[in-house]
Structure 1
Amino acid sequence: MSDGMDLRELYQDIILDHGRHPRNFRALEHATHLARGHNPLCGDRVTVYLAVEGDRITDVSFEGRGCAISTAAASLMTEVLKGKTVAEARALFGQFHARVTGGEPGEPPEALQDDIDRLEPLTGVKAFPVRVKCATLPWHAFEAALKSGLAGDTVKTE
């Protein structure tokens, strides 16, 4: 078996694990920001909760229902965002979005490289354009949460 196949299998295993056993899957009682996301094409629904103190994301979680890709994307997102500054979190979103849409992400800040590597299993969705919206939905909800505070805005991926 080739190294490429082994890596694809590893990435698939990571996505399935996060899809079946999502991390940080809960409401966040002390949330300072929240937003909902809906993907009408796939039926994915996600609510992203953030606890932000000053300029730092001290906690992040999500709830919702969706396909394995959207659930895994939300789970991985919560893991990499916890403890980041808002600027670092937005930089991660930019890097991730460029990678899954086939854009040019540019050189990532060195401090974020490990987190970008942890998101790598999801970048294979760029070969399946309809699935890109599944992978980016939690991130769009995250961005909406930063903008809306506790207003609970809803974003759609249409």
Structure 2
Amino acid sequence: MSEMRVMYQEVILDHNRKPRNYGRLEGANRHADGHNPLCGDSIHLTMNVEGDLIQAVAFEGEGCAICKASASMMTGVVKGLTVREAEELVSQFRGMTTGTLDMNGEHRLGRLKVFEGIKDLPSRVKCAILPWHTLTAAIHSVQSASTEGKDDPIQEG
């Protein structure tokens, strides 16, 4: 087993067992619900945005290990970013997990690169990207996000 694959498994299992920023953020000024109807992942994201800065973010819900780990890592990484920086990171994460981002080019993914191998598991891409779709919905005050229909992260076009 490759070193990257071992690290991926360790990170996923760690964040699944002990998710960071898990729970509901009281007094949140943004929130959204995310659903992956195919596998049943469901998360609720709450956040506080002051001006253009993400001050705090938390999630709760039920999902597979990949979804929960992705949400856990995402909440840790976007806290303290501007909305624009967070949206750029969403785009890069989506590109990485769908195989459209040149990983040799410039990006800000850092430790999120452990999810790079997801692109080789098409049925799991939606699990990894659901928290990121939900973040985008919350940023734009949209109440819900889905991995199906027009929101499908691997939809053509």
Question: How high is the TM-score relative to the length of structure 1?
Answer: 0.88
Structure 2 residue corresponding to 1:90, chosen from 87, 90, 97: 87
Please list every run of 5 or more consecutive structure 1 residues that lacks an aligned counterpart in the other structure: none
Structure 1 residue corresponding to 2:115, chosen from 116, 122, 145: 122
Inter-partner Cα distance in structure 2 for 1:13 and 1:134? 17
Shift of 1:153: 1.2
Q: Give 1:53's aligned residue.
A: 50
Q: Give 2:138's aligned residue.
A: 145
Please list every run of 5 or more consecutive structure 2 residues that lacks an aligned counterpart in the other structure: 149-157
Shift of 1:124: 1.2
Residue identity matched to 1:90: E
Q: How does 1:1-158 map to 2 (within 5 A)?
A: 5-104=2-101, 107-108=106-107, 113=108, 116-148=109-141, 153-158=143-148
Residue identity matched to 2:50: E
Deviations 1:99-137 (A, max 9, x none): 0001135522xxxx3xx1211111211111110000000
Inter-partner Cα distance in structure 1 for 2:4 and 2:94? 21
For residue 39 of structure 2, give the secondary structure of its aligned residue in structure 1. Answer: coil
Shift of 1:38: 0.5
Q: Give 2:155's aligned residue.
A: none
Q: Which has the bigger relative contact order, CA under 8 A and spacing at least 6? A: 1
The RMSD of aligned alpha carbons is 1.3
